[in-house]
Structure 1
């Protein structure tokens, strides 16, 4: 049994909701496991292990049929629970012939997957992301691919102090920005932290000048990050 600290006993982002439209079947490798994602006729997202247990063929190379998927190697069909429901040319279906399923939750246009023991999946561990569904925000779902360890990316995205030096031509502006801003909020949370800082009456950095009408206007700049672990 996986322990409480196992990386499998967490929720992970499997896909964006827009990736599963028009009957598309999506293959992903998550924590070393091959996973098939698709939206059935019921409208719900289904996640199955992407290997047919018969001969190991990829189910993502098969065909979606309603809420089920058919392996196109020998035509074996599995329903949304992973149960084998049809074997062409054979009436008897072995009760143990099934593929693993994964609990799925959709929230804020994100498809979350639970990779561990399904009995321990907890919907409450999923955080809402206001910029992705709040009409007051304009969210942009996208991907950034990094050739780096994920811990370096986590460190980078939670660190504002590098903006003035690394992003001088976009969000950072002048190097002075690094000296005049200090955190106004540093808050420890149950599964992470929140940091916020303001710089009032600040010179507009290059990025802001491209999107505001008055290029010489001063702005109140707010940096905010909430970092939560799965």
Structure 2
């Protein structure tokens, strides 16, 4: 049986989630959470101590986490970006965005609180610059990220035995960002954005901070270099 600490990363099939799982695998046994079972299995085969944990995060139940008795790190990286002006955004778009970006995060955290409490664990929420500033055309997404920041603040105040970190990256070179730029009608240039590895490094810095350090919020902006 492994004596290494355990981390669960959602959205681990690609992008920031996959990069974070790779970064944590050096020091943790990682549960790879997400919907794409094949992609998760492929990543698990690359990483020592990693296990695929395929699950629909918007429908997670107590049965899905029944075997997780202790959890040192929970990284919420899964999310969706549905863009549009308020005039264009339907109630269904709002519901889908909030369901994935907020409700699913809250419910998985709630279900895993006993496992986190057992070891004084750490919850990391990969948020966004949109969780600090809301811009035109980003209403439902920004609202979900403001709510995610509030969730983190409330969790930190309520669960004083845990560490809770919000990470707010600017634009990141991922498939999601390609879709965003296409929606905006621009030409894609990933070199202008953060890499997923840079965001993962920020998550790792928060996780590996000494026991006397509680990094509550990290903001990353691309240098464009």
Q: TM-score, normalised on structure 2?
A: 0.22
Q: With a CA cutoff of 8 Å and minimum separation of 6, indicate the structure with the bigger relative contact order.
A: 2
- Compare the two structures and name the one with the higher strand fraction: 1
Q: TM-score, normalised on structure 1?
A: 0.22
